[in-house]
Amino acid sequence: MRAWHKLTIALVILAGLLVAADRFAVGVADDKVAEQIQSRKGLSAKPDVSIQGFPFLTQVLAKKLDSVNLSADGLEVSGGGKTATLQTFTAHITGVRVNSSFSSATADSADGTALLSYADVTSLIGNKDAAVAYGGNGKIKIEGKVDTILGKVAGSATARLTVGSGDTIKVGDISVNALGTGVDVGSVPGLNEAFSALFATSQKLSGLPVGLSLESVEPTPEGVVIHFTGHDVDLAG
């Protein structure tokens, strides 16, 4: 009975050591994958990587990670020669195929979400005469001074953001809702066209995180939420 008791204790200790070794290995791999993604994809900040699943070492032997979570703040994207910063970025990546040194990685699929401030939205699509803010009901509000038959008049309009082909954000469905004091919107023709001149009606983004593609954009009070997706994503190749 005493021998069985000693064997049980020994097995518990061994199991604990194996778990500790597994967790240590996954921690090292997290950092290695993060370094590879940053260097190979030219990210402006090193991401946080968390490899999911247990045990990790059996995934290494199979050279395929079931699930990886990735996050980073302050990543940069660009469009039309202008740069904007993603306030936050998170991604869930599945079916990651890696080599033994973690120097290359390709994922079956990935989904991500990022937040873009309205100041950065303005930087990407606006000009010196326009500012973008939340417009309510899933729209943006564009404020600025436009040229009218009455001269330059301050006002605001709402618009919708959509995603076009080739990672392009499009601005459309413009509706003018206010002009300067004493000016009736209905009395001034061509306002939609005048407001359209305040910003780029389409902007192609480049430098998207880890090779993902734009799926949708959603204006919220906190900023514009961007959704990404990808299949057969080259994470670190």
Cβ pair 50, 69 in contact under 8 A: yes
pLDDT confidence bin for 229, thresholds 50/70/90:
very high
pLDDT in tens, 156-197: 888 999 999 889 999 888 888 877 766 667 667 777 787 788
Mean pLDDT of the region 196-209: 84
pLDDT in the model for residue 151: 76
Mean pLDDT for the chain? 77
Cβ pair 26, 45 in contact under 8 A: no
pLDDT in the model for residue 9: 43
- List the one residue out of 193, 161, 159, 163 whose CA is nearest residue 177: 159
Mean pLDDT of the region 101-108: 74
> Residue 236 above 90 pLDDT?
no
One-character DSSP codes across 99-125: -TTSS-EEEEEEEEEEEE-HHHHHHHH
- List the one residue out of 24, 48, 23 whose CA is nearest residue 34: 48
How does 143-160 read in b/e, with b if 16+ C-beta sit within 10 Å?
A: bbbbebeeeebebbbbbb
pLDDT in the model for residue 201: 82
d(CA 33, CA 39): 10
pLDDT in tens, 108-160: 888 999 999 999 999 888 777 788 999 999 999 988 888 877 778 788 888 99
**Total-model pTM:** 0.79
